[in-house]
Amino acid sequence: MKQNSNVPAFLTKLWTLVEDSDTNEFICWSQEGNSFLVMDEQRFAKDILPKFFKHNNMASFVRQLNMYGFRKVMHIDTGIVKQERDGPVEFQHHYFKHGQDDLLENIKRKVSNARPNDTKIRQEDLSNILASVQNVHGKQESIDSRLNTLKRDNEGLWREISDLRQKHSQQHQIIKKLIQFIVTLVQKNRMSLKRKRPILLNSNGKKPKYIHEIYDDPPLDHNKPSVSGLKNADLTDDVVICDVTDDDTEITEGPSRALDQSDVEIVEVFNSNTVSQTDNADSIGQTYSLVIEPEETTISTYDSLPTSSTLQLNKQSGLSLEDPMKMMDSILNESGAISQNINLLGKVELMDYLDSIDCSLEDFQAMLGVVVPKKMQGCYPKETSLVSQQTTSWSSTHPALCWPSWMAAPLWPQRQTAAQPQSWETACCSTTLRSPQTSWSQTRSLHEAL
Amino acid sequence: MKQNSNVPAFLTKLWTLVEDSDTNEFICWSQEGNSFLVMDEQRFAKDILPKFFKHNNMASFVRQLNMYGFRKVMHIDTGIVKQERDGPVEFQHHYFKHGQDDLLENIKRKVSNARPNDTKIRQEDLSNILASVQNVHGKQESIDSRLNTLKRDNEGLWREISDLRQKHSQQHQIIKKLIQFIVTLVQKNRMSLKRKRPILLNSNGKKPKYIHEIYDDPPLDHNKPSVSGLKNADLTDDVVICDVTDDDTEITEGPSRALDQSDVEIVEVFNSNTVSQTDNADSIGQTYSLVIEPEETTISTYDSLPTSSTLQLNKQSGLSLEDPMKMMDSILNESGAISQNINLLGKVELMDYLDSIDCSLEDFQAMLGVVVPKKMQGCYPKETSLVSQQTTSWSSTHPALCWPSWMAAPLWPQRQTAAQPQSWETACCSTTLRSPQTSWSQTRSLHEAL
Amino acid sequence: MKQNSNVPAFLTKLWTLVEDSDTNEFICWSQEGNSFLVMDEQRFAKDILPKFFKHNNMASFVRQLNMYGFRKVMHIDTGIVKQERDGPVEFQHHYFKHGQDDLLENIKRKVSNARPNDTKIRQEDLSNILASVQNVHGKQESIDSRLNTLKRDNEGLWREISDLRQKHSQQHQIIKKLIQFIVTLVQKNRMSLKRKRPILLNSNGKKPKYIHEIYDDPPLDHNKPSVSGLKNADLTDDVVICDVTDDDTEITEGPSRALDQSDVEIVEVFNSNTVSQTDNADSIGQTYSLVIEPEETTISTYDSLPTSSTLQLNKQSGLSLEDPMKMMDSILNESGAISQNINLLGKVELMDYLDSIDCSLEDFQAMLGVVVPKKMQGCYPKETSLVSQQTTSWSSTHPALCWPSWMAAPLWPQRQTAAQPQSWETACCSTTLRSPQTSWSQTRSLHEAL
DNA sequence: GGCGTTCTAGAATATTCGTGC
DNA sequence: AGCACGAATATTCTAGAACGC
């Protein structure tokens, strides 16, 4: 009757009840001893149950049995409506056997799964998931619009940059022309003033494209082209934009440049020590040279140092006299140092360039006549016909640059004709490039007109 | 006893049973008639149930009641241990009432709903979906942060561009002034040297605002103070950049450097036909002119070809005197090839520009400083106050450009006044610098040409 | 007689029934033992069925048989004339065989499958959600790729801007040199013509680095080789930016400007009304002044108007003669108008700038030598060594600028040396404008120092 | 928190009805 | 008419859940 351990009361009571021979009338072991029988449900419920439990309901008793894993033993005649008192009810459990109360502890009460119905859980899950998904959807739309905004911004930026590039290029052209003009001016001045021996740059009356000729193969070193250029250039007849300060010098030669003793001297930059100085000796005045040399340019963006490339310009007076052209050369040489890699292009452009600046008075006028629109901004070329060329000179130089994805055909407005050095301005994003010939011929005709 | 309609047999039987006064001993209506009582469970089960159903189990009966939504009516003494034989059992249903068998059809039998298979499958589905959604969430956050980063980048880019624009504009001004200065310088030189008859551009001492007059469209731009300045500047002693070539001229005067017979001649561009040419005829020497003419300008950004638009500037020495207007026209024609479509705009701008440079010498000076690109693209003004001007000339040209969304008031630092031709600067954006050689040789050829 | 396991009652009962020899009269195995026969339907139903089931309907019995997959065995005469009312009925099932009750467990009852309830609804929900999630996934990938594209674009933009900055800086150098050159040129001209006492800027033959000296803060920039070059350059014959004007005029005053009747006059732009004009009265010749004054700069980016800053260009003849320095002053003044707000910076920069242009011949020479950076194109320096400098002059000016997130070390190619006035180019994007006064006064003091 | 009692529900089977071939 | 099956209900056994101890 005592129940030790942790065997639930129900099991103890049930086992006792079944074992108790006094109640065999109502409840007893089956013959095999592995199940028990309730002879008369009704009487058992009303007479026996209350003595052991707090109720007299057969249903509650059965519920407990089920709770502990007992199963009803089906009889063949089950279901038959019998007039007489129903036959006995039989239950069994693997660990509920006659004379073996030690097995009872193996019988475990069923525990509610504490599972409030997956169904409900699932329903909630579904709701949550749905809400989550829609939330994500909303966010995505937001992100999408932001992306579009950004994309538009980017497009605007590209346009801006294109515009800036173009502007820059134009400015560059202006500057170039200005320099040319100034050089010419200085030269002229000398000629007219001194009218003495013209320093022969090209005594033969032909422009020596020495540089071009000498360097048909530009140095691979991109960073110091100017240096090499200078070195190799052996300029014997060069120029001598010497300056002279005095007054009465005579200019003997031609109308062309016979520059002498002008107060301003444009000294060519010679290579270290290799220079052959021309008649500087006689120059008594001070000589001033114009060196256009942006400091920045001497800086290597990444690793190279601006050391060697720094110019050792004019060593003061007593220097050589050079012509403005030389100066220009050096200037251009310097600034264009980078683009030397682009050989072909460089050459072509050089040609064009020279041609284009080969102008006389008319050119000058034309040069002067430049009208700037109040507003010019960059565009986005859409055509591509001329792109190839651009690519040639540009892509190579800007390998890292990625053209905006949204631009179908990145055509720079740049006119980058051959005559137009890309070095400084390069760039641009214009759609069409002017054919070199165009400027070529133009410049030419103009030139010849002289 | 007959049950028609679709009322289940159980309900019909039950109602009949309760209604039947013969069975009142076992089962009957409650006093209120909205529930029924089973007096003696055991007897009712064994004696009555089998007569109506295929069983004699009270449990089965109760099960059916529950299945149809009947509820047991709890009594106060429920739960208490009753010594006496159980009291009556009471059940009720909203549609099960005394004398109202028509309500029975409202009583619906419960139906089981779950298919154990799906359940598990669904659980897995739910898990998958949930994981998926959360995955998406995570990605979205990542994307969001990247978007923000990009946005910040873009803002920085706009700032950069704004900065660059401003810088460019400033440079442009510098260049313009430089040119003006140079022109003046040359002019002065001549004057002082020759002190001869000045070519009168505006002999009357008044600047012919021909252009402006011709195109009576006043500049919309209010922001060009300089322009006004120029206008107001009364330049009586106009320039006479005549050229002289000869040799023996004497430099008698000028305080400055007596430039004489300089080969460089700065010819002023004369107004259409109204010019009185000076002694050009006698000029034997070569004349060199400075032409600042960005080739790019001749290129039409989109579709036009640079062909016809090439400039036929100066026809050599002995040339004529042309009026500035003509030149401007040709220039604009050239460079503006593209923008020709934008007639009005072009004209207006031109007006402004010309107006601003509408001075003889002054014109010349101003002229130097400005090149008009055929196409300039633009920017993104959306506002307004200061933008108006800009918008006037600018927006029309750059309809496609969108100002960054995050910029409330996109005011460019750029001063882009009417007098400020963007032509030069606007342009291009190339990365590479032209190789030195190129410019080198070019410069040379030009030099040699001298 | 007891049936445990999971064999349904019907099968157990049926098998028992067939096996039971007592019922052979009504139901028995076929001869092969693989099917069973019901001899007399009616008697079987009425007499036998009720003893085992809750009914006495042959139909129900057959229904159960069908439910468990039993099939009726068709006889040959079936369908033909069935004379005899009830021949024996035969049913068979693959697992229902004589003496083999162990096969019964293989017999499965058919189960209805469709539950139109939630199941389907939920299934639909799941499908919808799943589709939605996957949709979102797809969109996200799209967004992701767009983001990447944008990012690449942005990177390209930064590169472009870097490039543009560099180009601008280079141009700026060129311009600066040009101006210097011109100034020197003018000066020289005067000297040579007059050959009078040169106004000594540095009579001692040494360049006065007044500015630099005054502000002993050396530029942090290491990238200015040219600068160093200039410094180191031993300039003996320093400049003499004296001006000479007329022929025999004597410069009586200070070393500073005693400008007289020079043909070219560089008039300083004075602040409104505060200007002290020098001996202009006596100037007989016409004087032209070069004023470099970007109109834009005078415009405050947002709200200020370009009013006062407008230049009063050439006042024509009778004007004052000024020295190049003045011109530079005015130029700087103008261009720097915007950045006046940045006082400190402005000053320092101005100092540097002035210092840089305060050169004599050497400087001049250096000026001519344009150095091209070995590497330009916008790169994105990764090192930061050079950043400091840049930061020094730049960051301060562009506080608002955010460097692109993807750039580790935002190194601008720009050389922005101290000697490089930021006023023109850098300018700041908008954030702060340098107050005109600053440069003004500075320039002045410097000027006066002359 | 486990256990016990009670009421209700789930689930499988059972019975019946109806339908289409 | 009869078979096979769907569908609804019925019966039974078991489980869930609420509540009290």
* Over residues C48-77, mean pLDDT: 89
Nucleotides of strand E lying closer than 7 angstroms to a protein CB: 2-17, 20
Spacing of A10 CA from D6 C1' in Å: 16
Question: What pLDDT, on the 0 to 100 scale, is given for residue B37?
Answer: 93
Nearest to C376 among B114, B180, B433 (CB): B433
Q: What is the pLDDT of residue A128?
A: 75
Please name the residues between 85 and 124 in chain A that touch chain B, using a CB distance below 8 Å.
Answer: 85-86, 118-119, 122
Give the residue with greater pLDDT, C435 vs C38: C38
Q: Which residues contact A289 (CB under 8 A, 6 or more apart)?
A: A265, A266, A267, A313, A314, A319, A322, A327, C361, C364, C365, C367, C368
Cβ A425–C167 below 8 Å, yes or no? Answer: yes
Of the residues B342, B355, B430, the best mutation for testing chain A's interface (the one with the most A CB atoms within 10 Å of its CB) is: B430
At residue B427, φ and ψ (nearest 5 deg) are -5, -170
**Band of residue B146 on the pLDDT scale cut at 50, 70, 90:** confident
Gap between the Cα atoms of B402 and B379, Å rounded: 7
Mean of per-residue pLDDT scores for chain B = 59
Return the pLDDT at A32.
Answer: 92
β-pairing, B89-92 with C35-38? unpaired
Distances (CA, A) of A317 to A157, A240, A263: 50, 12, 11
pLDDT, position B172: 81
Which of A128-142, A197-211, B198-212, C274-288 is modeled with the greatest confidence?
A: A128-142
Interface of A with C in 48-87 (CB under 8 A): 71, 73-81
Higher pLDDT among residues C335 and B2, named by residue: B2
| Average pLDDT of the residues in C380-387 | 40
* Number of residues that make up chain C: 450
Longest Cα–Cα distance of chain C, Å, equals 160
Q: How far is the CA of A327 from the C1' of D1 (A)?
A: 101
- Mean pLDDT, residues B74-85 taken together: 60
Asked if C374 and A81 come within 8 Å (Cβ–Cβ), the reply is no
Strand partners, A262: A243
Instruction: Give the integer Cα–Cα distance in Å for C430 and C301.
Output: 6
Contacts of C204 (CB under 8 A, 6+ apart): none
What's the CA gap between B37 and B31, in Å, rounded? 10
Min mean pLDDT across B38-47, C156-165, C373-382 is at C373-382
CB-nearest partner of B448 from A147, A207, A375: A207
Most confident residue range from A229-238, B269-278, C140-149: C140-149
CB pairs B-C closer than 8 Å: 316
Q: Is residue C61's pLDDT more than 90?
A: yes
The pLDDT of residue A24 is 92
pLDDT of residue B129: 79
Rg (chain B; Cα; Å)? 51
Q: Give a three-class secondary structure readout of C237-255.
A: CCCCCCCCCCCCCCCCCCC
Are C149 and A296 inside 8 Å of each other by CB? no
Distance, in Å, from the CA atom of B371 to the CA atom of C239, rounded to the nearest integer, reads 34
Give the pLDDT confidence score for residue B135 in this predicted structure.
85
> Which among B54, B268, B450 is the top mutation candidate for probing chain A, defined by the most A β-carbons within 10 Å of its own β-carbon?
B450
Write down which residues 295-324 in A have CB closer than 7 A to strand D: none
Q: Using the structure, give the distance in angstroms from the CA atom of A242 to the C1' atom of E9, rounded to a whole number.
A: 123
Instruction: Provide the CA B131 to C1' E17 distance, Å, integer.
Output: 32
Residue A135 CB partners (closer than 8 Å, separation 6+): none
In chain C, which among 350-409 make CB contacts under 8 A with chain A?
361-362, 364-379, 381-383, 386
Identify the DSSP state of C22.
G
Any B CB within 8 A of C157 CB: yes
Q: Apex CA B414: angle with CA B408 and CA B418, to 5°?
A: 120
Rounded to whole angstroms, how far apart are CA atoms C9 and A211?
112
Q: Extract the tokens encoding C220.
A: 């942090």
- In chain C, % of residues over pLDDT 90: 10
Average pLDDT over residues B128-141: 84
Tell me what pLDDT residue C255 has: 46
Residue closest to E8 C1′ by Cα: B8
Task: Encode B57-68: b = buried (16+ Cβ within 10 Å), e = exposed.
Answer: bbeebbebbeeb
Please state the rounded mean pLDDT for residues B23-51. Answer: 92
Chain B residues in contact with A332 (beta carbon < 8 A): 434, 436, 438-440, 442-443
Q: Tell me if chain B has a CB within 8 Å of the CB of C290.
A: yes
Q: Is C336 strand, coil or helix?
A: coil
Question: Is there contact between A114 and strand D, defined as CB under 7 Å from any strand atom?
Answer: no
Q: How much is the pLDDT for B85?
A: 56
pLDDT for position B48: 92
Q: Is the pLDDT of residue B427 over 90?
A: no
Q: What is the pLDDT of residue B93?
A: 94
Helices (H), A234-360: 324-335, 343-357
Q: Is the pTM of this model over 0.80?
A: no
Q: What's the average model confidence in pLDDT over A287-303? A: 44
Chain A to chain B Cβ contacts (< 8 Å)? 753
Identify the residue with better confidence: B204 or B301.
B204
| Backbone φ/ψ region at B262: left (φ over 0), alpha (ψ -120 to 50), beta | beta
Closest CA to C304 of C270, C338, C273, C345: C338
C279 touches chain A (CB under 8 A): no
| pLDDT for the residue C378 | 40
From the CA of B185, how many Å to the C1' of D6?
Answer: 117
Determine the Cα angle at A426 with ends A420 and A430, to 5°. 95
ipTM over 0.85: no
pLDDT digits (tens, 9 = 90+) for B373-386: 444 434 443 333 43
Q: pLDDT tens digit string along A96-132?
A: 999 998 999 899 998 876 555 555 556 666 777 778 8
Nucleotides of D under 7 A from a protein CB: 2-18
A178, two tokens: 């200005």
Mean pLDDT of A306-326: 41
The residue assigned the tokens 């445990």 is: C4
Rounded Cα gap, residues B297 and B291, in angstroms: 13
Q: What is the pLDDT of residues A159-203, one digit of tens each?
A: 888 888 888 888 888 777 777 777 777 777 666 665 544 444 444
- Greater model confidence, B114 or A305: B114
pLDDT at C81 over 70: no
The whole-number pLDDT of residue C70 equals: 94
Higher per-residue pLDDT: C117 or B8: B8
Top mean pLDDT of A358-372, C147-161, C422-436 is at: C147-161
Task: Report the residue of A72, A120, A175, A370 to disrupt the B interface, i.e. the one with the largest count of B CBs within 10 Å.
Answer: A370
pLDDT-derived band of residue A48, with 50, 70 and 90 as boundaries? very high
Return the half-sphere exposure (C-beta side, CA atoms, 13 A cut-off) of residue B216: 0
What pLDDT was estimated at residue C132? 82
What percent of chain B has a predicted confidence (pLDDT) above 90? 15
Burial class (CB in 10 A: 0-12, 13-18, 19+), A127: exposed
What are the tokens at A74?
């089906």
Confidence of residue C113 (pLDDT cuts 50, 70, 90): low
pLDDT at B112 exceeding the cut of 50: yes
Phi, psi of A110 (to 5 degrees): -75, 140
Name which residue leads in pLDDT, B273 or B143. B143
Query: What is the share, in percent, of chain B residues with pLDDT greater than 70?
Result: 35
What's the rounded Cα separation, in Å, for the pair C414 and C173? 11
| Contact in structure between A156 and B401 (CB atoms under 8 Å) | yes
* B239 pLDDT more than 80: no
Give A326's contacts in chain C (Cβ within 8 Å).
none
